[in-house]
Amino acid sequence: MNKTQEFMEILKCDCGCSMLVVEKTIWEDGDIDFDISIQDSRYDHNNTTILGRIKGATKILFGKPVYYSDVYISKPEVYKNFVEKMRGLI
Ligand SMILES: [Zn+2]
């Protein structure tokens, strides 16, 4: 089945390490679905180097608790603006 329309809203972490992505897809038959994901290319606010990423991978390997990803927003108006954009997807 083919997509007819796609909409996407993105909220980036203040430090740029990750982003919250909300996608809305309208399919050929009229079905509508949503996908919410956190995407990153560099894990951890404080460990953005290769060594930091290896440290993070080591924690995972030994079963220690880790934050896989998060989006930190320090400005309420940025969050409010994002929420309004998400409402626009409905
Ligand atoms: Zn961050």
pLDDT tens-digit series, residues 34-58:
999 988 765 555 666 788 778 878 8
Domain that holds residue 62: 3-89
The larger pLDDT score, comparing residue 88 to residue 65, is at: 88
- Tell me the sheet residues that pair with 37: 21
Domain count, the chain: 1
CA distances from 32 to 4, 13, 54, 77 (A): 10, 27, 39, 29
If you count them, how many residues does the chain have? 90
Instruction: Report if pTM > 0.85.
Output: no
Find the 9 Cα to ligand 1 centroid distance in Å: 18
Find the 29 Cα to ligand 1 centroid distance in Å: 38
Contacts (Cβ under 8 Å, ≥6 apart) of 37:
20, 21, 23
The larger pLDDT score, comparing residue 60 to residue 9, is at: 9
Find the 8 Cα to ligand 1 centroid distance in Å: 20
The larger pLDDT score, comparing residue 72 to residue 40, is at: 72
Find the 4 Cα to ligand 1 centroid distance in Å: 33
Find the 49 Cα to ligand 1 centroid distance in Å: 13
